């Protein structure tokens, strides 16, 4: 199951007057990492062990006027003022650079010498061998906002004017695209895809790095207007964790679904820094009462990453107070496309008006019926194909409410016929079936009608009714209904939750009334009852039954077996006789059974033709 965990703290962060950047070295950002290098501007650069509990390994303090602009494997860029920018290649080497470092990438070669590639804000790409500047190249773009390395060789550079991909070995531009806007946007790079989130429009755009083509656009509809603190981190292909204040969502951007969500109850907000492939995200939390800041980790379980996780979880389902109308109130017709003499144009109804009229006449059942049947153009007392255009479930539900509110069901027969019609409608609102049987208990006609035709009756209620009712016919109807509507698995599951006493009573009822010769049951229906009985016994377990009941059950079964055996014998006899008869007296059909006269299959014969 996909899930997001509650956050746990790695380290508290000192409160600062203006929030300044925090960086996490990329080598720790791998699944199952145990080591995190964290650079906090104006504070420290520290190494933490994550498991079993977060622990500080070592820490280097940095001056409180020093803002960190880039950090990667002990190499970092800092900025103290506009004109004082430095590149720290190791603890002792600090090189002044003309403008802030946007990103740096130290790579150890086979001689253990660190080669560092550094990208500066003005578009300069510098290379250092150990601490010696080897080369400087300027790309024709300046004011670089972001630079992300891919596979130690390529870099995606984002500037207000252009998004480009460079080969660092040759400093050649592989791709560029200048129509990707960067205002109000935050970019993340993940497995060859560039994710862009626009804070104003709440829209994600996903680009393929190799072509810089837009692959997918999706707007998050459930973020309320003017929500500021939306952050995100990419944790998988098209999967991002998004936080809005103290709510975290795991999103499937491809399908447009919220896979899972979690509320961090004690937090005011949680801002994400970065995410790691299918394992965790790091972010800064702010507790709601004290306002403490902490660097925290949230474990991510991505789940199966397929449609299963997204079932019924569309973005739209998370939109609060959506007043979206039920679109499916009227089936569309193909009539305009395919003229057919047989086809009638679909009827549409002014449900609101009809409901209003019904409301006015809710006390008078005859008037009520008259309006109901006339306005909805219903011809029969029960649902037929002609009524297939009445599909507004909300309307059906409202009418039901109206009837249930205004009429009493106490064996007086004083209810509108419309109710009986509704009970036959296949789109009978599912939420209204709850408690329906109990309501109609005193009104046998309705009760039976409900059992026979009303769709989606809750299994629990059916079973409860089945076990409490002592009417043979109704008991049969209910069991048929249960068997028809529910799978054996569901029935067994449900039976397990019912009190054993009821079940025993029912078994007794079936056994006793069956052996009661006065009650005649047609063989076919008994079969259904027996099937249900076997299911019941299956689910409670045969030996959980009382000894006495078991005994009578044995007698019952023996009796049935005896009958079955007798029938089999008779069947053999009939078969034997008829085949015998058919062969010996092919014209004589005197056995008087229903078995058809069988022509014996002749043995293989050979005919000679004289030529």
Partner 1 sequence: MSAIAQKYQMSVVSGGRPVLPRGGKSVCTVTHDGQALVVPFSNQLRVYSLETRQCIKTVKFANSAVLSQIFPAARVADIVMGDATGAVTGPAAEKLLTLFTDLGHAIVLNYKGKLTETPAVHAIPVDTKLGERVEKVFVSGESLRVLIAGANDYKLAQLAFNTDKVVLTEPVVFPGAMLTAWSGDEQVFAALCRDPAAGNQKQVRVQSVHSSAISTAIPLEKVIPNATTAPNTSSKNARFVSALAIDNSGTQLALGFASGVITIVNVADLQSRLLKWHIDAVLALAFTDDGAYLLSGGWEKVMLFWQLASNTQQFLPRLNGIVVDIQPRGKYYTLALQLAENESSADYQIVVLNAADLTSRVQISGPMPVFNDQTRSAAQPVSALKSNTQINISKKKHRRKLVKATRQDFTTIIEQNPQTKQLYIPHMSALQTFDFYKNEQSALQFMTDGMNNAMGKVRDELNIRDPEIKNIKVTRDGNWLVSYEVEYPPEDLMSSGDLCHVLKFWTRQEDQSQWTLRTKVLNPHGKGTPITNIMVAPVSVANGGAGCITADNNGGMKYWAFDTAEKNWCLKKLLIPNFTNYSNSVSLAWSRDGSLIFHGFDDKLQIIDFDNFKQVSVPGSPDDSDVSMPGEFTVDSEIQAVKLVGEKNLVIATKTTLSVIDLLLGKITRGFDLYPYVNGMYKNSHLDRLISCDEKNEKLALVINEQVADTADYKAHILVFNGDLSKVLDRFTHDEYISWIGWNHDTDFIFVDIQSRFGVVGTTVNTEMVDDSNREDVMEGILDGAAAAAETSGETAHSSSESYLEKLRELSRKKNGVANTTVANGAAANGTQDEDAMDIEQEIIAGNHKDDHGINMNSFSNMFENIQNVPMETLFDSVMKALS
Site residues (CB under 8 A) for partner 1, limited to 203-232: 208-211, 213, 215-216
Task: Please identify which residue in 65, 135, 136, 170 interacts with partner 1, judged by CB under 8 A.
Answer: 170
CA 376 remoteness from chain centre: 37
Contact 144, 120 (CB under 8 A): yes
Q: Is 476 in the site for partner 1 (CB under 8 A)?
A: no
Contact 156, 148 (CB under 8 A): yes
In 3D space, the residue among 470, 559, 544 whose CA is nearest the CA of residue 500 turns out to be 544
Contact 192, 149 (CB under 8 A): no
In 3D space, the residue among 436, 490, 448, 455 whose CA is nearest the CA of residue 472 turns out to be 448
Give the residue carrying structure tokens 């004082």. 84
Nearest distance in Å: CB 302, partner 1 = 13
Q: Residue 20 or residue 488: which is nearer to partner 1 going by CB?
A: 488
Nearest distance in Å: CB 22, partner 1 = 28
Of 89-97, 165-173, 278-286, 408-416, the segment contacting partner 1 by CB under 8 A is 165-173
CA 176 remoteness from chain centre: 38
Nearest distance in Å: CB 437, partner 1 = 18
Taking the C-alpha atoms of residue 334 and residue 12, their distance in angstroms, rounded to an integer, is 65
Task: Please identify which residue in 388, 432, 521, 577 interacts with partner 1, judged by CB under 8 A.
Answer: 388
- Number of residues binding to partner 1, judged by CB under 8 A: 88
Q: Where are the alpha helices (DSSP H) in 409-499?
A: 417-424, 436-439, 444-453, 459-468, 472-485, 488-496
| CB environment 552-565: b (16+ within 10 A), e (fewer) | bbeebeeeeeeeee
Nearest distance in Å: CB 74, partner 1 = 26
* Binding letters toward partner 1, positions 408-447, x by CB under 8 A: ------------------xx--------------------
Task: Please identify which residue in 50, 114, 150, 537 interacts with partner 1, judged by CB under 8 A.
Answer: 150
Of 82-90, 191-199, 351-359, 500-508, the segment contacting partner 1 by CB under 8 A is 191-199
Of 66-74, 87-95, 130-138, 337-345, the segment contacting partner 1 by CB under 8 A is 337-345
Q: Residue 340 or residue 587: which is nearer to partner 1 going by CB?
A: 340
Nearest distance in Å: CB 549, partner 1 = 24
- 3-class SS at 331? coil
Give the residue carrying structure tokens 């809750």. 458
Q: Is 253 in the site for partner 1 (CB under 8 A)?
A: no
**551 Cβ contact list (under 8 Å, min separation 6):** none
Taking the C-alpha atoms of residue 455 and residue 441, their distance in angstroms, rounded to an integer, is 17
Q: Is 338 in the site for partner 1 (CB under 8 A)?
A: yes
Contact 272, 241 (CB under 8 A): yes
Q: Is 314 in the site for partner 1 (CB under 8 A)?
A: yes
Q: Is 577 in the site for partner 1 (CB under 8 A)?
A: no
- 3-class SS at 136? strand
Q: Is 523 in the site for partner 1 (CB under 8 A)?
A: no
Q: Is 151 in the site for partner 1 (CB under 8 A)?
A: yes
- H or E stretch at 128: strand 124-129
Of 8-16, 21-29, 290-298, 305-313, the segment contacting partner 1 by CB under 8 A is 305-313
Q: Residue 208 or residue 292: which is nearer to partner 1 going by CB?
A: 208
Q: Residue 75 or residue 212: which is nearer to partner 1 going by CB?
A: 212
Q: Is 341 in the site for partner 1 (CB under 8 A)?
A: yes
Q: Residue 334 or residue 512: which is nearer to partner 1 going by CB?
A: 334
Task: Please identify which residue in 17, 91, 92, 332 interacts with partner 1, judged by CB under 8 A.
Answer: 332
Task: Please identify which residue in 65, 304, 561, 567 interacts with partner 1, judged by CB under 8 A.
Answer: 304
Cα Rg of the chain, angstroms: 38
Task: Please identify which residue in 21, 54, 346, 458 interacts with partner 1, judged by CB under 8 A.
Answer: 346
Number of neighbours of residue 484 by Cβ within 10 angstroms: 8
Q: Residue 17 or residue 321: which is nearer to partner 1 going by CB?
A: 321
What is the DSSP secondary structure assignment for residue 53, as one 8-state letter? S
Nearest distance in Å: CB 495, partner 1 = 15
* Binding letters toward partner 1, positions 20-59, x by CB under 8 A: ----------------------------------------
Q: Token pair of 602, please?
A: 């002749």
Q: Is 489 in the site for partner 1 (CB under 8 A)?
A: yes
Burial class of residue 367 in the structure, from the number of CB atoms within 10 Å of its CB (0-12 exposed, 13-18 middle, 19+ buried):
middle
What separation in angstroms does the CA of 202 have from each of 19, 157, 185, 270? 23, 23, 10, 18
Q: Is 343 in the site for partner 1 (CB under 8 A)?
A: yes
Q: Is 342 in the site for partner 1 (CB under 8 A)?
A: yes
Q: Is 261 in the site for partner 1 (CB under 8 A)?
A: yes
Nearest distance in Å: CB 58, partner 1 = 34
What separation in angstroms does the CA of 306 have from each of 197, 238, 276, 278? 23, 11, 19, 14
In 3D space, the residue among 415, 360, 350, 361 whose CA is nearest the CA of residue 389 turns out to be 350
Q: What are phi and psi of 444, to 5 degrees?
A: -55, -40
């Amino acid at each position: 199951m996909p899930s997001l965990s509650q956050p746990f703290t790695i380290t508290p962060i000192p409160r600062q007057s203006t929030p300044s950047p925090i960086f996490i070295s990329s080598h720790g950002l791998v699944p199952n990492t145990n080591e995190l290098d964290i650079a906090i501007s104006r504070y420290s650069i520290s190494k933490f062990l994550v498991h079993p509990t977060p622990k500080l390994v070592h820490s280097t303090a940095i001056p409180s006027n020093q803002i960190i602009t880039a950090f990667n494997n002990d190499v970092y860029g800092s900025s103290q003022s506009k004109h004082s920018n430095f590149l720290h290649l190791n603890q002792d080497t600090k090189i002044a650079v003309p403008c802030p470092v946007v990103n740096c990438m130290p790579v150890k070669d086979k001689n253990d010498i660190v080669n560092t590639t550094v990208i500066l804000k003005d578009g300069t790409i510098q290379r250092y061998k150990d601490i010696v500047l080897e080369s400087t190249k300027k790309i024709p773009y300046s004011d670089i906002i972001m630079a992300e390395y891919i596979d130690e060789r390529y870099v995606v550079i984002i500037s207000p004017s252009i998004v480009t991909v460079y080969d660092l070995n040759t400093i050649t531009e592989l791709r560029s695209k200048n129509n990707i806007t960067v205002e109000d946007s935050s970019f993340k790079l993940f497995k060859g895809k560039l994710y862009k989130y626009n804070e104003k429009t709440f829209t994600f755009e996903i680009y393929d790095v190799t072509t810089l083509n837009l692959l997918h656009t999706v707007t998050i509809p459930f973020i309320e207007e003017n929500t500021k603190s939306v952050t995100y981190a990419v944790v998988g292909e098209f999967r991002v964790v998004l936080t809005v204040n103290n709510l975290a969502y795991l999103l499937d951007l491809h399908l447009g679904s919220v896979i899972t969500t979690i509320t961090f109850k004690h937090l005011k907000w949680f801002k994400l820094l970065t995410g790691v492939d299918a394992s965790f995200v790091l972010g800064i939390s702010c507790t709601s009462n004290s306002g403490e800041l902490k660097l925290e980790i949230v474990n991510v379980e991505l789940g199966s990453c397929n449609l299963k996780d997204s079932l019924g979880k569309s973005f739209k389902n998370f939109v609060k107070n959506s007043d979206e109308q039920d679109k499916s109130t009227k089936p569309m017709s193909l009539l305009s496309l395919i003229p057919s003499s047989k086809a009638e144009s679909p009827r549409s109804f002014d449900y609101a008006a009809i409901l209003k009229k019904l409301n006015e006449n809710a006390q008078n059942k005859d008037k009520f019926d008259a309006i109901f049947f006339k306005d909805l153009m219903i011809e029969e007392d029960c649902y037929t194909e002609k009524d297939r255009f009445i599909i507004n479930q909300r309307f059906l539900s409202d009418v039901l409410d109206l009837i249930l509110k205004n009429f009493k069901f106490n064996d007086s027969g004083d209810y509108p016929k419309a109710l009986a019609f509704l009970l036959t409608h296949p789109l009978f609102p599912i939420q209204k079936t709850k408690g329906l049987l109990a309501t109609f208990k005193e009104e046998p006609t309705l009760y039976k009608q409900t059992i026979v035709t009303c769709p989606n009756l809750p299994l629990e209620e059916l079973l409860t009714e089945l076990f409490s009712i002592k009417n043979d016919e109704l008991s049969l109807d209910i069991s048929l209904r249960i068997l028809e509507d529910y799978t054996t698995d569901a029935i067994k599951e449900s039976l397990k939750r019912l009190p054993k006493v009821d079940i025993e009573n029912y078994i007794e009822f079936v056994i006793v009334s069956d052996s009661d010769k006065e009650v005649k049951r047609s063989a076919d229906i008994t079969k259904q009852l027996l099937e249900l009985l076997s299911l019941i016994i299956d689910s409670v377990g045969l030996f959980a039954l009382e000894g006495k009941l078991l005994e009578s059950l044995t007698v019952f079964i023996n009796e049935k077996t005896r009958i079955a055996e007798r029938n089999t014998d008779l069947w053999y006899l009939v078969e034997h006789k008829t085949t015998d008869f058919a062969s010996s007296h092919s014209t004589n059909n005197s056995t008087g059974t229903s078995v058809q006269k069988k022509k014996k299959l002749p043995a293989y014969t050979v005919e000679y033709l004289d030529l």
